[in-house]
Amino acid sequence: MSRKGLTHEIHRDLEEFLTRSHDNREHKMLYVLDLDCDYALPLLRSANATGMFMAPIKWLLLQDNATIDILETFKDMAVFPDSEVILARRLEGANHFTEITSIYRPSPLRDAIIENRGNWTSNGGVRLANIHATSRRRRDLLGTPLKSCLVMTDPDTINHLTDYENKHIDPVTKANYPWILHIVSRMNATVTFRISNTWGYREENGSWSGMMGMLQRQEIDIGGTATFFIAQRIGVVDYVQLYTRTNSAFIFRQPLLSTVSNIFTLPFQRSVWIAIGILLLIVLGLLHFTSKWEYHRGASLARAEYWQQFNPAEQTLSDNFMVVLGAVAQQGYSYEPYRVSPRIVTLMLLIAALSLYASYTANIVALLQSTTDSIKTLTDLFHSPLKLGAQDVVYSRYYFKSFDDPIRRAIVDQKIEPKGQNTSWMTIQEGVHRVKNELFALHGERGTVYKIMQETYQEEEKCGITELDFIKVLFPLLVIQVRSPYLEIVKNTALLLRETGLKYREEYRLYTEKPKCQGQTSFISIGFTECYFALVSMGYGTLLSLVVLTLELLWHKQWELMSFASITVAPLCDRTAESDTAAWEHSGSLEFLEEETFLNNAGENMEQQQ
C-alpha cells in the first residue's frame, strides 16, 4: 500500500508476473513496465497473447534509452483504438524533460501509430497536448474495412433500403441502414454487409444462429439491424444505446360496449334499479288496494253499467301487476279507474314510467355507440370476446415459445396456437383487415400496423385503437462484438446521431404514429349482439309459456276425467248453472244496486205518506 492509498505489486522477474492471475476487465488496473528491463519484450508478447492491452486496462511504459523500436515492437500487437498504452521516454541530454506518447493501431490491417500526448518536466509537471477522450482522438480508422450484417425477412428489402418503398416491410433494417453508414463515415472506414433472415437465437448445442452467431464468431464487427435486449444475449454481444423506437404489441379496436356487457342493465346504476323496484312495488300495492275499494264501493245503476263496460270483473293482483308492467313498458293496459283514488295512483304510475322510459331510452342510444375500455391487462384480453392473431415473423415465434408466466402461456396455447386447430399466425395485411372487420386483436410491429391502418381505414374506424404490450422488452438496440475496440467510438457517434437529429429523421420517415381519431362515430346498425339479452328474454319467456300451456292442458285433461266420473249428477249441475245464470242476469251486480234499491224504497214510502 502506497502513501496515496494505492495497492501495488512489484515483480522483478517474468515468471512471477506470468503465474499471477490478471483480471483484464478491472477498470482500476494500471501496469507500469520498464522497457530497459531484460524481460520487457517477452512480457509485452505475453500480455498481448492474453488480451491485456484491451480496455479498460492501462499501461505505462518507461524508457531511458532508445534500445527498443516502439513501432516495430507493436506493429503486430492488439493495441487497437481502445487501448491505453502510454510511453514516457526521457530524452537524451534532457534529464528534466520526458516525452509522453501513446501507441495504437487503427485496425488489424494498419500499422502502429504514435500520437503525441504531451510532456513532463520537473518544474512544470505534466502538460497534455490533447485532453480529448481516446474515442474522440482515435475515431479516424484510416479507411479500415468493417463488416456488418442486415436482417431481412423479405429478400426484396435489399432493393428498397433507401427509397422508402414498402415501408411496412423490414422497417427496422431500413431505419438502421443509414445509421450504420453515418457511423462508418464518421469513423473514416468502409463497410460491407452480409444478409441474414434471422436475428439469431441460442441453439441446443449452445451456439448462436443468425446475426448473433456472426458477432459471437467475430465474422462481423457490428450488427446492422437492431435487436431486443434480453438476458440470454448478455455476454454474447454488447449493446449500443441507439434505440429504434418501435416494438410489437397486441393492437385492436376497442369493442362496442354491447359485446362485453348487457347494455340493457347499464343505463341506471344498481341503486337506481333498486329504487325503481321499490317504487313499483309500492304502486302495485296502492293500485291493488284502491281497485278493491273501488269494486266494493256502492254506485248508482247508471254508473255501475258504465264501469262494467271497461271492468267486467274484479281486479286481481295479477291484473294489477299487468297494469304496472304495461305502464312501465309503455304498452298500455285495459284497466280504467273510475274513482279518484285509483286514478291518482294510475296517474302517478304513468308520470313515473314516462320519466324513466325517456331516461332509459336516451342512455340506451348512447350506450349502443359506446366502446369499452375494460381491456387494460393481458388477463382482460384473454377473457375478452376478441379473437387473437400474430404477425408471422421470426422473433415473435421465438418469444412466444419462451414465456413461462401462466397468462402469456395460456394466450399462446389457447388463442394463438390451439391444439388440434389452425394456428393464428398470419400476414400483417390479413391481420389488419380482420381488426377492421371483426372482434380481433393482432400482435404485430406497431409502425407497420399503423401504416396500413392509416392507408386503409375510414376516419371513424381510426377511433378507439388500443395497444397492449405482450413481449415486455425494451426498444431494439444496435449490437457490436463483445469488447470490440470500436465500442466507445460507435457509442459516441450514436450519441451524435441523436443530437443532430439524423436518428429521428429516419424514424419519422419510416414509422407511422398511431392514427388520430378525427372523425365522429358513424351510424351503428343493430344486430344480434346488441339484442342478445332481449332475444334471450323472449326465448325464456316462450319456453315458460309452453311449460304453462302444458300444465294447463294436463289440468284440463284431469278435469275432464273428474267430470266424466261425476256424470250422474250432470243434469242437476246443468239446472243449477242455468238458474244461477238467470238469477245473475235478473239481479245484476248486487253491490252496485244497493244504493239504487235504497233510493227506490225511500221514494215509494214518501208517496204512500202523501
Q: Are residues 39 and 176 in the same domain?
A: no
- Taking residues 200-221, what's their average pLDDT? 92
More confident site: 523 or 453: 453
Q: Are residues 126 and 268 in the same domain?
A: no
Task: List all residues 6 or more positions away from 310 whose beta carbon is below 8 Å from its beta carbon.
Answer: 334, 335, 336
pLDDT beyond 60 at 445 = yes
Domain around 458? 247-255+371-474
Q: Are residues 53 and 38 in the same domain?
A: yes
Euclidean distance between CA atoms 56 and 465, whole angstroms = 49
pLDDT beyond 90 at 297 = no
pLDDT for the residue numbered 337: 77
Q: Are residues 378 and 461 in the same domain?
A: yes
Euclidean distance between CA atoms 197 and 209, whole angstroms = 10
Q: Are residues 363 and 375 in the same domain?
A: no
pLDDT for the residue numbered 95: 64
pLDDT for the residue numbered 579: 46
pLDDT beyond 70 at 564 = yes
Can you say whether residue 166 is alpha, beta or left, with left for phi > 0 and alpha for psi between -120 and 50 degrees?
left
pLDDT digits 0-9 by tens, 422-433: 788 999 999 999
Q: Are residues 123 and 235 in the same domain?
A: no
Q: Are residues 424 and 483 in the same domain?
A: no
Q: What is the dihedral of CA 151, 156, 162, 168, to 10 degrees?
A: -80
Can you say whether residue 333 is alpha, beta or left, with left for phi > 0 and alpha for psi between -120 and 50 degrees?
beta
Q: Is the pTM of this model over 0.75?
A: no
Q: Among 313, 348, 369, which residue terminates a domain?
A: 369
pLDDT for the residue numbered 325: 86
Instruction: Note whether residue 569 is domain-resident.
Output: no
Strands (E), 44-153: 58-63, 84-90, 97-104, 113-121, 125-128, 144-151
Strand pairing report for 97-104 and 84-90: antiparallel
Average pLDDT over the chain, rounded to an integer = 83
Q: Are residues 57 and 195 in the same domain?
A: no
- Taking residues 458-473, what's their average pLDDT? 88
pLDDT for the residue numbered 19: 63
Asked if residues 404 and 459 have their Cβ atoms less than 8 Å apart, the reply is: no
pLDDT beyond 90 at 472 = no
Q: Are residues 495 and 347 in the same domain?
A: no
Q: What percentage of residues in the chain have a pLDDT greater than 70?
A: 82
Instruction: Note whether residue 549 is domain-resident.
Output: no
Q: What percentage of residues in the chain have a pLDDT greater than 90?
A: 36
pLDDT beyond 90 at 191 = yes
pLDDT for the residue numbered 255: 84
pLDDT for the residue numbered 578: 47
- Taking residues 286-311, what's their average pLDDT? 67
- Taking residues 282-296, what's their average pLDDT? 83
- Indicate the burial class of 104 (C-beta count within 10 angstroms; 0-12, 13-18, 19 or more): buried
Instruction: Note whether residue 590 is domain-resident.
Output: no
pLDDT beyond 60 at 265 = yes
Asked if residues 127 and 112 have their Cβ atoms less than 8 Å apart, the reply is: no
The number of angstroms, rounded, from the C-alpha of 92 to the middle of its chain's C-alpha atoms is 72
Q: Are residues 232 and 273 in the same domain?
A: no
pLDDT digits 0-9 by tens, 570-591: 454 444 444 444 443 444 443 4
User: DSSP string spanning 553-578?
Assistant: HHHHHHHHHHHHHTGGGHHHHHHHHH
pLDDT for the residue numbered 520: 61
Residue 32 sits in a domain whose CATH number is: 3.40.50
Asked which of 73-82, 107-116, 363-372, 562-571 is least confident by mean pLDDT, the reply is 562-571
Instruction: Note whether residue 344 is domain-resident.
Output: yes
Strands (E), 166-263: 189-196, 222-223, 237-243, 248-253
pLDDT for the residue numbered 584: 38
pLDDT for the residue numbered 322: 85
For the chain, what is the domain count? 4
pLDDT for the residue numbered 259: 74
Instruction: Note whether residue 194 is domain-resident.
Output: yes
Q: Are residues 297 and 226 in the same domain?
A: no
Task: Give the number of other Cβ atoms within 10 Å of residue 179's Cβ.
Answer: 22
Asked if residues 221 and 148 have their Cβ atoms less than 8 Å apart, the reply is: yes
Task: Give the number of other Cβ atoms within 10 Å of residue 28's Cβ.
Answer: 9
Residue with cell 426484396: 156
Residue 491 sits in a domain whose CATH number is: 3.40.190.10
- Taking residues 546-558, what's their average pLDDT? 90
Instruction: Note whether residue 606 is domain-resident.
Output: no
pLDDT beyond 90 at 104 = yes
Instruction: Note whether residue 600 is domain-resident.
Output: no
Q: What is the dihedral of CA 174, 175, 178, 184, to 10 degrees?
A: -110
Q: Are residues 34 and 127 in the same domain?
A: yes
- Taking residues 320-330, what's their average pLDDT? 85
Instruction: Note whether residue 70 is domain-resident.
Output: yes
pLDDT for the residue numbered 598: 42
Residue 308: pLDDT band with limits 50, 70, 90:
low
pLDDT digits 0-9 by tens, 215-253: 999 999 999 999 999 888 988 999 999 999 988 999 999
